[in-house]
Amino acid sequence: MKTQERYDKIIDWFSNNMPVAETELHYETTFQLLIAVILSAQCTDKRVNMITPKLFEAYPEPETLAAASPEAVFEYIKSVSYPNNKAKHLVGMAKMLIEEFNGEVPSDINLLQKLPGVGRKTANVIAAVAYNKEAMPVDTHVFRVSNRIGLTNNSKTPLETEKVLVKHIPGPLLPIAHHWLILHGRYVCRARKPDCLNCGISAWCKYYERASKQR
């Protein structure tokens, strides 16, 4: 099967069977989404959703967060991974939003990456989810699933994976395709034990093809 044919079949299946796919992070504003995505680095969305309600209540806008100390923010987020660094990043991010972006979260990926705690993946998430831009965030699920099912050919880095996915997936579908791959990796194509028997795209999956030949 040619690479583009694999993409077309998988995209068609997801389009028909998962027409609505969204982030599982809870948020109401782009600012809240940015906070949640920063907190979600190497942490589960479930854990982030447990602590953000009180955090958002205490710091509803960049001004209140910028005025806080990292020590105060730490108390709200201490159950997530790397809370000390993330507390510093959140306060620094809020200060930069005020000082350089008039308190507004930018939509440009390069500008977003200037913010403390914001790497390319986080910037792509904000661009895709908040602004519906043609961006492909690559987290651990997207990276792993893309390699496993054959959308990429043993890509070594998230950036390499991103470039391949952007090349083959139609631009307008990139924001939702990001969620297709995340949710598929989270609930079906799990890292340790993929549920191939209940997978809707196994017919076009390289991993399943190899596994079937070994039986």
Per the annotation, does 43 bind a ligand?
no
How far apart, in whole angstroms, are the C-alpha atoms of residue 131 and residue 174? 12
Asked if residue 205 belongs to a known ligand binding site, the reply is: yes
Dist. CA 115–CA 107, nearest whole Å: 12
Identify the CA nearest to 155 among candidates 46, 2, 1, 3.
3
End-to-end CA distance of the chain: 21
199 assigned to a ligand binding site: yes
Q: So which residues are the catalytic ones?
A: 121, 139
Q: What is the pTM of this model?
A: 0.92
Q: For each of the chain's 215 residues, which pLDDT tens digit applies?
A: 889 999 999 999 999 999 999 999 999 999 999 999 999 999 999 999 999 999 999 999 999 999 999 999 999 999 999 999 999 999 999 999 999 999 999 999 999 999 999 999 999 999 999 999 999 999 999 999 999 999 998 899 999 999 999 999 999 999 999 999 999 999 999 999 999 999 999 999 999 988 877 76
